[in-house]
A = this chain, B = another copy of it.
Amino acid sequence: MKWYDKISNKDDVVISSRVRLARNLEGFAFPARMDEDSSKKAALSVKQALENAYGTELEFAQLGNNANLLVEEHVVSPEFADNTNIYRALVSNKDKSLAIMINEEDHVRIQALFPGFDLDAAYECANKADDALIKGCSIAFDEKYGFLTSCPTNLGTGMRASVMLHLPALSAYGYIKSIVSLMNKIGLTVRGIYGEGSDARANMYQLSNQVTLGISEEDTIEKLKSAVLQIVDRERNLRKKLLEDTKSETYDKLWRSYGTLKYARRIDTNEASKLISNVRLAQVCGIIPEIKDKNLIKLLFEIMPSHIVSCFPDALDSSLRDKYRADLVRQFLQ
């Protein structure tokens, strides 16, 4: 069971909601300047605090071969999967909707990731883990600067709340740039779904708060929610327009995407992502009845390279991965 297994057709624009809290332990250098020994001590301290509160509900694991898989699933950051000399570990619940990275940029990064538009649930989940942490560890906190973080852009709440948005219509009409600039003006950031500098694969975007200092967690979330509602509204209206305006052309493109996915025998990640994005649009607009109940966002994760390798361990060159990817997609759509 993965967090994205629960994404439904109703999550037509907001795919997921995430709250991430950055925390650091008093008496330890930030991970960038930590030695191995103290990284282990810090990890142990965090582990005990969480175990006290959650018991066996959470799993504690050193990061291993599955790191790239977790990156693709948005459970850990790409940076967390990078090589390092210090000790890193991941504490997570079963579906990894709660994932706590130990010794990433900060000593502790709590992430709650929920399907659909549910920032409140994500915040509550992250907050609970934060309480456990604060109860069991000495957390670095300053009256003036709030939670102390490795990077000053996280000072204050240490919170990054974000939603993952599927915006095929806003993209098609070329509105993304203006949305990015509008959001920047109100202290929000739009990015590709694999974080800073990543592409907007499959017309998916991540909207998050920029500011962490001088604003409460609750206000941050309320502000984000209100911006999301506006974007959702615009995307939905444009989707209707997209299908009315040039009905036959869009309609054709979506159906052809479906035909290619259903029959291709080789497909690379980029093309598959683009086509799945088209087919998802068709799905939520009710255009292709036979895929009504399929979780196409799940498919979007499962076609990623590390996921393919995890299913087909011999898929070590990209040509073979393209074949397996096409097999997997066909099977999924049957």
On chain B, the residues within 8 Å of A131 by CB distance are: none
Indicate whether A232 reaches chain B with its CB closer than 8 angstroms. no
Indicate whether A81 reaches chain B with its CB closer than 8 angstroms. no
Contact B265 A255 (CB under 8 A): yes
Q: When the two chains form the complex, which single residue of B248, B256, B266, B323 contacts A260, counting CB atoms closer than 8 Å?
A: B256
CA of A262 to CA of B261, assembled, Å: 12
Closest Cβ of chain B to A41, distance in Å, is: 52
Indicate whether A263 reaches chain B with its CB closer than 8 angstroms. yes
Closest Cβ of chain B to A320, distance in Å, is: 9
CA of A258 to CA of B265, assembled, Å: 12
Number of this chain's copies in the assembly equals: 2
Contact B248 A256 (CB under 8 A): no
On chain B, the residues within 8 Å of A259 by CB distance are: 256, 259-264
On chain B, the residues within 8 Å of A249 by CB distance are: 266
Interface range, A side: 10 to 19
Q: When the two chains form the complex, which single residue of B251, B258, B263 contacts A255, counting CB atoms closer than 8 Å?
A: B263
Q: When the two chains form the complex, which single residue of B263, B323, B326 contacts A258, counting CB atoms closer than 8 Å?
A: B263
Q: Which of A212-269 contact B (CB under 8 A)?
A: 248-249, 251-252, 255-256, 258-266
On chain B, the residues within 8 Å of A252 by CB distance are: 264-266, 326
CA of A258 to CA of B260, assembled, Å: 8
Closest to A326 in B: B252
Closest to A320 in B: B248
A251, A255, A323: most-surrounded residue (chain B CB, <10 A): A255
Contact A323 B248 (CB under 8 A): yes
On chain B, the residues within 8 Å of A264 by CB distance are: 252, 255-256, 259
Nearest 8 Cβ contacts at the A-B interface: A259-B263, A259-B259, A252-B265, A252-B266, A255-B263, A251-B265, A255-B265, A259-B260
Besides A252-B265, A255-B265, A260-B260, 11 other A-B contacts (C-beta < 8 A):
A248-B265, A248-B323, A251-B265, A252-B266, A252-B326, A255-B264, A256-B265, A259-B259, A259-B260, A259-B262, A262-B262
18 CB-based A-B contacts, threshold 8 Å: A248-B266, A249-B266, A252-B264, A252-B265, A252-B266, A252-B326, A255-B263, A255-B264, A256-B259, A256-B260, A256-B263, A256-B265, A258-B263, A259-B260, A259-B261, A260-B260, A262-B262, A262-B263
